[in-house]
Amino acid sequence: MSNKQGKRYPEEFKRDAVALARSSSKTVTEVARDLGVSPEGLRSWVKQDKIDRGEGGPGELTSAEHEELRRLRRQNLEQQKTIEVLKNATAFFARESDR
C-alpha cells in the first residue's frame, strides 16, 4: 500500500534542495535525480519558495498562510463538533424537563 503523500523530508533538506536548484546550471529534473527526490516534488518546493519570497501570483498562499488555514480549518471542525454536542444536550434536557 503506497503512502498518498509520499516521502516526508526535513525542512532543512527542502531548503537546501531549493537553494541548489536555484543556483545550479542543471535542470530541476537533474538536480532532483542527483538528490534522489521526485522532480515534481522539487518543482513544488521551488514554486513554494518563490511564493514565500513574495514572487508568487495573486491568490497564491505562502507557507505561513497555508499553515494558518490548516489550523483554522481544524479549529472550525472542532467547534462544529462542540456545537453539535451542545445541540444534542440541549434537546435531551429539553425533553427531560417536559416529563
d(CA 78, CA 88): 16
Determine which of 55-59, 77-81, 87-91 has the lowest per-residue pLDDT on average.
Answer: 55-59
**1 pLDDT above the threshold of 80:** no
How far apart are the C-alpha atoms of 38 and 81, rounded to whole Å? 38
Statement: residue 98 has pLDDT above 60: yes
The pTM of the full predicted model, rounded to 2 decimals, is 0.69
3-state helix, strand, coil in the chain (%, to 5): 75, 0, 25
pLDDT digits (tens, 9 = 90+) for 55-68: 999 999 999 999 99
Q: What is the pLDDT of residues 17-59, one digit of tens each?
A: 999 999 999 999 999 999 999 999 999 999 999 999 999 999 9
